[in-house]
Chain A
Amino acid sequence: MASEPILLDHLIDNAAAEGGPRIELRDPGNLDEVVALVAQADTATVDRAVRSAHAAFPLWRDTPLAERCARLRAAADTLVAAADEVIAVMARESGMLPGTNKAEIGMAAAIVRDNADHAETSLAPACFEDADSTVEVEKVAVGVIAAIVPWNAPVILAMRKVSPALAVGNTVVVKTAPTAPIGLTRLLQAFAAHFPAGVINVVQGGGETGSALVAHPLVARVSFTGGLKVAQIIMKQAAADLKRVSFELGGNDPAILLPDADLDKAVPRIMGGAFRRAGQFCFAVKRVYVPRALAPELIARMKADLDTFVVGHPLTAGVTVGPINNKGQFDYLLGLRERVRASGVTYLEGGTQADPQLWDKGYYMMPALVTDIDPEHELVTTEQFGPILPIVVYDDLDAVIDSINAGELGLGSSVWGEDLDAALDVARRIEAGMTFINNAGTSRLGQRYMPFGGVKRSGIGRESSPVGLGEHFALHAMNYHK
């Protein structure tokens, strides 16, 4: 797999732009491999990107909605067409499987089309009239939006910000994640070609680059997906000039099985919901609650499924679980694993190693189920963001719900049971932005219409759906007195 490192630059005015020092990006599945040398945008480069977006804004805002949406739809097609060219390099930078990346790009294209559709149905002004006056509430573009994207599903998460922003008439500066910049940049480059120069700009870099972007006076709004700590910093910075923010942050999403859960359905869906992307996604199932009577059967079936996992480099044939994306997260998970094992629980590892010779060269760990665990254990009460899943046995559903709601995270959640009315009643008691019933993610209808986001410390604002589009415009209310 050895090849010359890619030189990755920024995208400003629809052209590759150098700026700032370069750092090495290594393959998390084989740290001997330098995948790219990535420029890190300094303040001057960030300023160029923001000014480009700011200069492009008036023209783009005044471009008719139908044309904005037509360009978005054509750009969505380009994403799909470009997918095969980037899924391997995405695997090498993020550790995610090529099939996962391909599905991600397809879903990102659907997100773009959904947002174009929502814009066409929801940007019309609301008008009211009586004998004395008229009221018109217009939805107006806000300017330059900073979109700060994480590494775990960069294309989907970027398109959740870029496509509604553009549909409304804003322009964007995307900051990629330091450990997954290549595939996204290549896709955005192809995507951006459908728009006037400056409508989409991309800067590479870490926290300093993000900070320069958030602090820039010409940025009107910051949309961030990532961790709570960074969000806190962004919000404090944004406070200085009262920028709008929206945050999609972590979760500690519970899967609650009810006594009538259908295990044939639930087991594969929960396993996928917990271990896809090696557990590295925001609304992954982070903990499972199972009634005592169902527990032995559930654990046996989940363990059997776990044993079929093949862990290794994402470009090795047959691999179903890739490495952890980065050293910080890997070290955290290793530490967590030690603490969990030392705490007297039952730690059930499963699966096989696809590349034993690579094992110590990458951020690999065997996926695991943890049983006989206390509901207040660290593994249950924190977001692990990795392939270690606790299964908590319960006798009292009310206590489970109280304990879930006592936490400060509230992104997703799932409820599993064949009586849908009873499952809905349970769902409605959970403090979360999203609850899935009998699955661990959104249906196609849900992708299009569910506002995606969390309550409490899992975020501010929503993405996707007409509600998510609404984060990208300001209201201008006009009141004419006759």
Chain B
Amino acid sequence: MSDIPTLRNFVAGQWLGEAAPFEVRDPGHRDTILAHVVPADAALVDQAVSAAVKAQKLWACVPVAERAAAVLAAADRIEAEADKGLDGLVREVVLETGMLPGEITLEFRGAAFAARDNVEAAQVALEPEVIEDESSIVRIERRPIGVVAAIVPWNAPIVLMIRKFAPALVAGCALVVKTPPTAPIGITKLLAGLAELFPAGVINVVHGFGEVGAALSAHPLVRLVSFTGGGVAARAIMATAADTMKNVQFELGGNDAAIVLDDFDIETQIPMLMAGAFHRSGQFCFAIKRLYVPDAIYDRVFDAMAAYLDAQKIGHPLDPATTFGPINNKAQFDFLQGLIARSRAAGAELIELGTPVDPAQWETGNYMKPVLVRDAAPGLEAVTCEQFGPVLPVLRYHDLDAVVAQANRTEYGLGSSIWTRDEGRGKALARRLEAGMTFINKNAQSRLGRRHMPFGGIKQSGIGTENAEYGLYEFTEIHAINIHKA
């Protein structure tokens, strides 16, 4: 069809690429092709990196204040897109991701905050530290690490890209962004617009699958691979990065435990708890992946959760009646269907809830009803794996120490949450969890948290961190200078 746009790679201000395109389809209506995307080949990846190398040398010499101003201008444009709502890029991202307009609008706002927060962190983090005594001076300077490959996933492409974009650019790096194959459109259009604020070549965008990520990870002039996504890809990136001794920063999956304490307020806290698990149909890295509820209130909590979910209307994200969108892609959808089948076969009690907005369209998209697993056993696959979808196992507990042990008995360690009105008890329990992040009473960052929480995981949920001063440091190398006075 001639009205389907073609999306090429964006290299130093030029739209490039002649390879056979792949299709991006609407996950809520798979017959609709949103774009034909031209993937980058190895030569084009090299061209993008070379453009970035050239631009980076100049960008690094631009004063920090000027770099910060450019990133802040980018933040304003991102916020302006949020204000346009479905009249702008929000619509494109809604269509390609399957996420709801409200979720994507918030994502753009969150991305604008992330850009501004990273600039604020940079004011502190990029300042040289000077220590002096009678015989010498030590200067610790933070230099841009160089060209950064930013490999971004489909589930929250705008904010996860901006978490790399903003610290990289304010630190003086140049970027080659690899878009996710099922959500490349919004990112590319946004970045091509933002590129006007920066010298040509500072921002480059390439499309494609694993081989493009591999080419970036192997390129000798890429100094850092900043990747958000899955563990399998992260392992491959790190093994490839080893050849050229690149730094890596990974934000990966989690199997985030939520622990409800016995003072949980069912009346007021259920919506927040449910959003923590089912926002974006469960497709976000720090979504609640398993929920532990004390025996004394288990049935009441479970019933309230079921009632909440049963009110959900599952459908196309552009249908105003929809409150619950589809799964982004067929592979993830098939995995979730398989997980449900295996859980049932293992004897688990799975309860599907909610209603289709348009039953006639149900089979045309990656639609599924949200699922609660009642009295899930600790060893059930749906408990121990990262489901990344709307299937939530709810575990009954009697002994909090046993819950802590179970929560920690995993190779993951991204987020976690605790639900209690007792701040002291919540924080004491939080300290016992092996995780990069623990949220109390809302499974998300507060405004303060966005600015000051390093975002990332421990164990196999990641390496390094994003946001805050620590996140900014990932995009720098230290140059320590020792001046001997005599």
**A443, B138: Cα distance in complex, Å:** 9
Q: In angstroms, how far is the closest chain B Cβ from the Cβ of A462?
A: 6
Q: What chain B residues lie within 8 Å of A334 (beta carbons)? A: none
Q: What chain B residues lie within 8 Å of A451 (beta carbons)? A: 140, 478, 480
Binary B-proximity of A405-448 (CB < 8 A = 1, otherwise 0):
00010000000000010011001101011111111001111100
**Residue among A228, A424, A474 making CB contact with B483, cutoff 8 Å:** A424
Q: What chain A residues lie within 8 Å of B132 (beta carbons)? A: 445
**A451, B484: Cα distance in complex, Å:** 16
Q: In angstroms, how far is the closest chain B Cβ from the Cβ of A142?
A: 7
**A465, B139: Cα distance in complex, Å:** 12
Q: In angstroms, how far is the closest chain B Cβ from the Cβ of A127?
A: 9
Interface-centre pick from B239, B244, B448 (highest chain A CB count, 10 A): B448
Contact of B448 with A130 in the complex, beta carbons under 8 Å: yes
Q: In angstroms, how far is the closest chain A Cβ from the Cβ of B31?
A: 39
Contact of A480 with B234 in the complex, beta carbons under 8 Å: no
Residue of A nearest to B223 (CB): A456
Contact of B449 with A432 in the complex, beta carbons under 8 Å: no
Q: What chain A residues lie within 8 Å of B468 (beta carbons)? A: 137
- The SS class assigned to the A binding surface is mixed
Is the C-beta of B2 less than 8 angstroms from some C-beta in chain A?
no
Is the C-beta of A367 less than 8 angstroms from some C-beta in chain B?
no
Contact A450-B138, Cβ < 8 Å, known A132-B446, A455-B477, A475-B454: yes
Binary A-proximity of B444-462 (CB < 8 A = 1, otherwise 0):
0111110111111011101
**Residue among B234, B411, B481 making CB contact with A435, cutoff 8 Å:** B481
**A408, B223: Cα distance in complex, Å:** 11
Contact of A476 with B436 in the complex, beta carbons under 8 Å: yes
Q: What chain B residues lie within 8 Å of A236 (beta carbons)? A: 238-239, 242
Contact of A239 with B481 in the complex, beta carbons under 8 Å: no
Residue of A nearest to B242 (CB): A235
Is the C-beta of A449 less than 8 angstroms from some C-beta in chain B?
yes
Q: In angstroms, how far is the closest chain A Cβ from the Cβ of B273?
A: 12
**A134, B482: Cα distance in complex, Å:** 38
Interface residue tally for chain A (C-beta within 8 Å)? 72
**Residue among A452, A455, A479, A482 making CB contact with B453, cutoff 8 Å:** A479
Binary A-proximity of B224-252 (CB < 8 A = 1, otherwise 0):
00000001001111110111110100101
Residue of A nearest to B430 (CB): A478
A82-135 residues with Cβ-Cβ distance < 8 A to B are 126, 128-130, 132-135
**A235, B465: Cα distance in complex, Å:** 19
Contact of B484 with A433 in the complex, beta carbons under 8 Å: no
Q: In angstroms, how far is the closest chain A Cβ from the Cβ of B76?
A: 24
Interface-centre pick from B237, B449, B462, B481 (highest chain A CB count, 10 A): B481
**A439, B138: Cα distance in complex, Å:** 13
Residue of B nearest to A127 (CB): B452
Binary B-proximity of A456-471 (CB < 8 A = 1, otherwise 0):
1111101001010000
Residue of A nearest to B454 (CB): A475
Residue of B nearest to A408 (CB): B220
**Residue among A239, A458, A475 making CB contact with B456, cutoff 8 Å:** A475
Is the C-beta of A136 less than 8 angstroms from some C-beta in chain B?
yes
Is the C-beta of A232 less than 8 angstroms from some C-beta in chain B?
yes
Contact A480-B478, Cβ < 8 Å, known A445-B135, A456-B223, A475-B465: no
**A317, B241: Cα distance in complex, Å:** 48
Contact A428-B463, Cβ < 8 Å, known A128-B452, A137-B452, A445-B136: no
Q: What chain B residues lie within 8 Å of A2 (beta carbons)? A: none
Is the C-beta of B283 less than 8 angstroms from some C-beta in chain A?
no
B2-61 residues with Cβ-Cβ distance < 8 A to A are none
Contact of A437 with B480 in the complex, beta carbons under 8 Å: no
Binary A-proximity of B136-179 (CB < 8 A = 1, otherwise 0):
11111101010000000000000000000000000000000000
Q: What chain B residues lie within 8 Å of A408 (beta carbons)? A: 220
Q: What chain B residues lie within 8 Å of A459 (beta carbons)? A: 245
Is the C-beta of B440 less than 8 angstroms from some C-beta in chain A?
yes
Residue of A nearest to B137 (CB): A445
**A383, B441: Cα distance in complex, Å:** 55
Residue of B nearest to A242 (CB): B460
List A residues at the B interface (Cβ < 8 Å): 126, 128-130, 132-138, 140, 142, 220, 228, 231-236, 238-242, 244, 247, 249, 408, 420, 423-424, 427-428, 430, 432-439, 442-446, 449-453, 455-460, 462, 465, 467, 474-482
Apart from A136-B427, A137-B453, A475-B470: 7 A-B pairs, beta carbons within 8 A: A137-B452, A239-B238, A449-B138, A475-B454, A478-B440, A479-B448, A479-B449
23 contacts between A and B (CB under 8 A): A132-B446, A133-B448, A134-B448, A135-B449, A135-B452, A142-B458, A232-B243, A234-B242, A235-B239, A238-B238, A239-B239, A242-B463, A427-B481, A434-B482, A437-B483, A444-B133, A445-B137, A476-B430, A476-B433, A477-B449, A478-B431, A479-B439, A480-B441
List B residues at the A interface (Cβ < 8 Å): 131-133, 135-141, 143, 145, 220, 223, 231, 234-239, 241-245, 247, 250, 252, 411, 423, 426-427, 430-431, 433, 435-442, 445-449, 451-456, 458-460, 462-463, 465, 468, 470, 477-485
